[in-house]
């Protein structure tokens, strides 16, 4: 999974020449000589998602591959990423989870004009936090993400972390036809009011993977990214005891996942430490069994026959250094409720959507009675405004019958409680997965000025109204 810049760019321009628009921008080097500089082209390409036995799929990519180029940055060092639009529709890039200046947040109409076909936009920011992040479009998101536009961002710690290997599993969910094409029907209204567009094939780093080769005795840092439109995942590592060390890029107190299942909502990232305690020569399944009727084997950990790398597991603690997050002052915090409403209920009604104010054509969901539709556009009025530097405590109430990974831009949220019970492990998240009827309290310091989106990351839900804007002024 090393960065594959030059080769794939070259391949893209040769193979894709007929697909490209006439606008002849000078080619960007995929990665410049100095670190933290990238050129990323959003462009159509073809991918073998199902392996060599299956037909190729027409996809939309960053630099010709799915997932797109891995962007490696260094904590606290300026980054410069030039994005070129070689699609035939407008796009933007959002750097999900990175606490960056508002003008670099990639929300069309709200933080920047969209990047038109043939145009380029340069994103400039200094990532304050080390960790696992990702990037994706924030224009026509449902279709652009669903056709493959997504990639990982790894921000390296200042001091290297002591592991034998650092692996990334970028997980994507696709809805393919029998011929291998991406199924049409984005924005199906029924789906939008239910679980969203859950696909029929999950890829790991762009392919269906049968095996992840490992060696007995090694310690692996495994970065999990759920880049799906709607699919929630619950990963189980047969015969192993993963330790969660970071959530959404933010280190937490190392802990084992509840019930041995790593719950990963769309857009969430979880870093785990895996001490490879299996037997040389054996295979262990990694299973996703979030949906009762859709459980499948994601891959297998395949042990090398050779002797263990070390006789005993490492006894250094697996934790990661904390990022410089401002601690909210809970006693002084201003408090607000954000209530999620709508969606299909048992009888087919949209709960509470009937007489709601701000109810638009096409809305299936609302926050505090208001539905913001689509992706981001000019004139989105903030639902709440916070004075810069204030501590804020939000109570998120899910009154619906569906799961929602709720995401806030520009800040990380300290997760305080779930359904009245304190959340342990000092967890900070930018995407909080809420089960039906959950009530979750989060807190943060509103220290990053600008208009920031808060939305469900099930893309159909966002498009159909589960979105709002919060202003820090
Ligand atoms: Cu990945 Cu508006 O978010
Ligand atoms: Cu985001
Ligand atoms: Cu949702």
With cut-offs at 50, 70 and 90, classify the pLDDT of residue 405.
very high
> Is the CB of residue 224 less than 8 Å from the CB of residue 235?
yes
CB neighbour list of residue 312: distance below 8 Å, 6 or more residues apart: none
For residue 15, the CA-to-ligand 1 centroid distance in Å is 31
pLDDT on residue 353: 54
* Burial classification of residue 87, based on how many CB atoms lie within 10 Å of its CB (0-12 exposed, 13-18 middle, 19 or more buried): buried
Would the pLDDT of 146 be above 90?
yes
Arithmetic mean of pLDDT, 239-259: 97
> Mean pLDDT throughout 60-77?
97
219 pocket-lining for ligand 1 (C-beta < 6 Å): no
8 Å CB contact between 98 and 71: no
pLDDT at 354 over 70: no
Tell whether ligand 1 has an atom less than 6 A from the beta carbon of residue 267: yes
Please determine, for residue 348, whether its predicted confidence score (pLDDT) is greater than 60: no
Q: Is residue 447 predicted with pLDDT exceeding 80?
A: yes
pLDDT for 13 beyond 50 = no
For ligand 1, whether the C-beta of 404 sits within 6 Å is no
In the beta sheet, which residues pair with residue 73?
A: 155
Which band of pLDDT confidence, cut at 50, 70 and 90, is reported for residue 360? low
183 CA → ligand 1 middle, Å: 23
List CB-based neighbours of ion ligand 3 within 5 Å. Answer: 404, 456, 458, 461
- Residue 215, ligand 1, Cβ within 6 A: no
CB 36 within 8 A of CB 80: yes
For residue 352, pLDDT beyond 70: no
What mean pLDDT is predicted for residues 85-107? 98
Cα of 97 from ligand 2 centre, angstroms: 5
**Domain 334-472 classification at class level:** mainly beta
pLDDT of residue 346: 59
Percent with pLDDT over 70 in the chain: 89
Spatial distance between the Cα atoms of 414 and 150, rounded to a whole number of angstroms: 26
Minimum-distance ligand 1 atom for the alpha carbon of 455: 2
User: What is the C-alpha separation between 339 and 337, in angstroms, rounded?
Assistant: 6
Q: Which ligand is nearest to the CA of 193?
A: 3
Residue 148 Cα to ligand 1 midpoint, Å, equals 15
pLDDT of 34 > 70? The answer is: no
pLDDT in the model for residue 464:
94
Taking the domains of the chain in order of start, what are their residue ranges?
A: 1-319, 334-472
Q: Which CATH architecture fits 1-319?
A: Sandwich (2.60)
Query: Who contacts 130 (Cβ-Cβ below 8 Å, separation ≥6)?
Result: 75, 155, 156, 157, 158, 249, 320, 321, 323
Quick one: which atom of ligand 1 is closest to the CA of 96?
A: 1
Q: Is residue 461 in contact with ligand 1, taking CB distance under 6 Å?
A: no
Q: How much is the pLDDT for 361?
A: 66
- The pLDDT of residue 247 is 98
| Fold: same for 1-319 and 334-472 | yes
* CB 455 less than 6 A from any atom of ligand 1: yes
* 33, pLDDT greater than 70: no
Distances (CA, A) of 85 to 23, 93, 96, 420: 10, 10, 19, 46
Q: Is the per-residue pLDDT at 314 higher than 80?
A: yes
Residues of the chain above pLDDT 90, percent: 83
Residue 20 pLDDT grade (very low, low, confident, very high; cuts 50, 70, 90): very low
Most confident segment among 10-14, 19-23, 210-214, 372-376: 210-214
Residue 93 to residue 79: CA distance in whole angstroms: 14
pLDDT band (50, 70, 90) for residue 1: very low
Res 127 pLDDT > 90 = yes
């Amino acid at each position: 999974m090393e960065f594959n810049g030059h080769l794939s760019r070259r391949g893209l321009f040769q193979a894709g020449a007929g697909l490209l628009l006439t606008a002849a921008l000078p080619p960007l080097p995929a990665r410049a000589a100095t670190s933290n500089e990238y050129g990323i082209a959003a462009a159509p390409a073809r991918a073998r998602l199902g392996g060599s036995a299956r037909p190729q799929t027409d996809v939309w990519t960053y630099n010709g591959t799915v997932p797109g180029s891995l962007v490696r940055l260094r904590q606290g060092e300026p980054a410069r990423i030039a994005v070129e639009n070689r699609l035939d529709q407008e796009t933007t890039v959002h750097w999900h989870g990175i606490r960056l200046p508002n003008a670099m947040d990639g929300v069309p109409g709200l933080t920047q004009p969209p990047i038109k076909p043939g145009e380029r936009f340069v994103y400039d920011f200094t990532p304050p936090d080390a960790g696992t992040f990702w990037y994706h479009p924030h224009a026509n998101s449902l279709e652009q993400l669903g056709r493959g536009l997504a990639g990982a961002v790894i921000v390296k710690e200042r001091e290297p972390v002591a592991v034998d290997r650092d692996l990334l599993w970028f997980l994507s969910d696709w809805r393919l036809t029998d011929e291998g094409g991406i199924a049409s029907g984005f924005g199906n209204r029924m789906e939008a009011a239910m679980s969203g567009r859950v696909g029929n094939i999950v890829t790991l780093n762009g392919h269906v993977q049968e095996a992840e080769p490992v060696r007995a005795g090694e310690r692996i840092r495994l970065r999990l990214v759920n880049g799906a439109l709607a699919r929630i995942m619950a990963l189980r590592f047969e015969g192993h005891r993963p330790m969660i060390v970071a959530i959404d890029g933010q280190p937490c107190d190392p802990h084992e996942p509840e019930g041995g299942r790593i719950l990963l909502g769309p857009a969430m990232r979880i870093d785990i430490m895996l001490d490879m305690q299996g037997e040389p020569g054996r295979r262990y399944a990694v299973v996703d069994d979030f949906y009762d009727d859709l459980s499948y084997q994601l891959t297998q950990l395949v042990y090398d026959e050779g002797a263990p790398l070390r006789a005993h597991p490492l006894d250094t603690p697996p934790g990661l250094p904390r990022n410089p997050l401002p601690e909210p002052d809970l006693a002084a915090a201003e408090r607000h409720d954000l209530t999620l409403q709508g969606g299909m209920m048992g009888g087919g009604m949209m709960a509470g959507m009937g007489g709601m104010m701000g109810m638009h054509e096409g809305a299936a969901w609302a926050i505090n009675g208001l539905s913001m539709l689509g992706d981001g556009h000019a004139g989105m009025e903030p639902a709440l405004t916070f004075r810069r530097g204030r501590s804020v405590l939000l109570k998120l109430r899910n009154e619906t019958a569906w799961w929602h990974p709720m995401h806030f831009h520009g800040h990380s949220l300290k997760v305080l409680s779930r359904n009245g019970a304190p959340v342990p492990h000092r967890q900070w998240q930018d995407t909080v997965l809420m089960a039906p009827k959950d009530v979750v309290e989060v807190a943060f310091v509103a220290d990053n000025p600008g208009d920031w989106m808060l939305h469900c990351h099930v893309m159909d839900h966002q498009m159909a109204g589960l979105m709002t804007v919060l202003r820090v002024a």
